[in-house]
Amino acid sequence: MTLEELRNKIDELDRQLVELLSERARAAQMIGHLKVATSLPVYEPAREKVIYANVRAANKGPLPDIELTHIYERIIDVMRALQRNELASEKHARAKAQGQGTGADAPETGNKQ
């Protein structure tokens, strides 16, 4: 393959990754809603260990397990922040609907620049 063809392949893979990450984020948001309904914590270290084990088991290379784990640590951090922001937004909306001001600003998006 030529350099241009390989770059086009990477561009297509990036688009697929974005869609998969967005799908994962939507699932994480739905999990956040269920956690609120069942009073579960956002942070569940045992579940994260299972995710890392699953990722390592699925890894066929060329990325070393440790590097893939680092990537997933970041993905999970972002998904956890998304859940927290979603839950904070819901709490704020409920308080507002009940006529109670929370005094809190809009939740952070994690997009610090």
Question: Which residues have CB under 8 Å from 18's CB, separation 6+?
Answer: none
Tokens of 1: 């393959």
Q: What is the pTM of this model?
A: 0.76
Domain ranges in the chain are 3-96
Q: Does domain 3-96 have CATH number 2.60.120.920?
A: no
Choose between 101 and 92: higher pLDDT: 92
The string of pLDDT tens digits covering residues 7-16 is 999 999 999 9
The string of pLDDT tens digits covering residues 78-90 is 999 998 887 777 7
Q: How far does CA 49 lie from the centroid of its chain?
A: 15
Check pLDDT > 50 for residue 34: yes
Distance from the first to the final alpha carbon of the chain: 37
